Amino acid sequence: MDECDFTDVIKSLDAALAENKETKRKILQELDLFVLDNSIRETTVGQLRGHTLENKIKIYQEAKKCRFEHCIVASFNHMTRVGDTFCQWLKDNNEDRTKMFSFSEVTEAVKDGVPDTEAIPVAMEKCKTYGIPNVIIEIDLADPRFDWNGKFTIWDFCQLLLKRIDWCYDNLSSDSKVMINFRDFSFAMKGKNSLVRVLTVVKFLANLPKQCFGICIEEMGKFLPEDAGAWCTALRKVMNDCNWKDGKLLAHVHKRWGFAHITQLECLMNGADRIWAGVCE
């Protein structure tokens, strides 16, 4: 075989590596990473047995050894679950709850395409009871139960969101760290109409007089890392265009087909600057 000349190939490779080092790797190296620890809640996923209060306390104490400042402690609903007992334990033992979060639905009922905008979600009420000042409001913008094009538009939804945010500031703490979790983010970004709804909500949040702490997204482990990276780039562009440059964009990736870690990194290299995840393993 004659000697091969790979000069052009090597030049292209060197250029690609140099560009990667100066952009994506540089971003990761200089990232001031914020971690919202989800160990207390995430360990309920796929469990074989229900947690006890003792389980929750042990997980809490182990997670604290990682020295993450912020953590999610519960996802409340109308039932009294071990999360309620654990949060009462936190309160009774005067644990510092200023950096603790709970999930909450934005609404708990939808009828004829219109959500209940009056009743305060039970999770928010429980945050008030247990002294949890920070709330992650969960939304689904590809939810077919909503009559997006008729009785309840995306602008109506934004007003509902504002109502919930203001309630947190008025009833939990004027310094509440309120975040919005795009729970069906991956699916919403794949639909033309729901994509517009996502970007509309981001722009609405970015232009609030008192801005939220940040935005959370979930990738369900069904799409490629490149997809998630491109979606994060789009969200960050809207945030930056509205001068919401200090708004936090947290990514959470479900472990499904082996892409979880690289997808998480891809998000961080393309606009996300925070993660929320458990350290269960």
Distances (CA, A) of 94 to 84, 185, 241: 15, 36, 42
Instruction: Give one DSSP letter per residue of the chain, joined into a string.
Output: -PPP--HHHHHHHHHHHHHHIIIIIHHHHH---EEEE-HHHHTTTT-SS---HHHHHHHHHHHHTTT-SEEEEEE--SS--HHHHHHHHHHHTT---TTEEEEEES-S-EETTEE--SSPPHHHHHHHHHT--EEEEEE-TT-TTS-TTTTS-HHHHHHHHHHHHHHHHHHT-TT--EEEEETTHHHHHHSHHHHHHHHHHHHHHHT-SS--SEEEEEE-S-S-HHHHHHHHHHHHHHHHHTT-TT-EEEEEE--SSS-HHHHHHHHHHTT--EEEE----
Rounded to an integer, what distance in angstroms lies between the CA atom of residue 218 and that of residue 220?
6
Spatial contact of 240 and 262, defined as CB atoms under 8 Å apart: no
Tokens 């402690």 locate to 73
Which of 69, 177, 227, 237 lies closest to 253, judged by CA? 227
Question: pLDDT exceeding 90 applies to what percent of the chain?
Answer: 62
- Report CA dihedral (219, 224, 230, 235) to the nearest 10 degrees: -10
Q: Report the chain's mean pLDDT, rounded to a whole number.
A: 89
Amino acid 45: pLDDT? 65
The tens-digit pLDDT sequence of the chain (281 residues) is 566 675 776 677 777 667 666 678 888 888 888 889 998 887 666 666 778 999 999 999 988 898 888 999 999 989 888 999 999 999 999 999 999 999 999 999 999 999 999 999 999 999 999 999 999 999 999 999 999 999 999 999 999 999 999 999 999 999 999 999 999 999 999 888 999 999 999 999 999 998 899 999 999 888 899 899 999 999 999 999 999 988 999 999 988 778 888 999 999 998 998 888 887 76
Rounded to an integer, what distance in angstroms lies between the CA atom of residue 60 and that of residue 57?
5
Amino acid 204: pLDDT? 96
Q: What domains can you pick out in the chain, each with its CATH number?
A: 30-277 (3.20.20.70)
Rounded to an integer, what distance in angstroms lies between the CA atom of residue 233 and that of residue 268?
10
User: Residue 201 is encoded by which pair of tokens?
Assistant: 């909500």
Amino acid 109: pLDDT? 94
Amino acid 2: pLDDT? 60
What are the tens digits of pLDDT across the range 15-31? 766 766 667 888 888 88
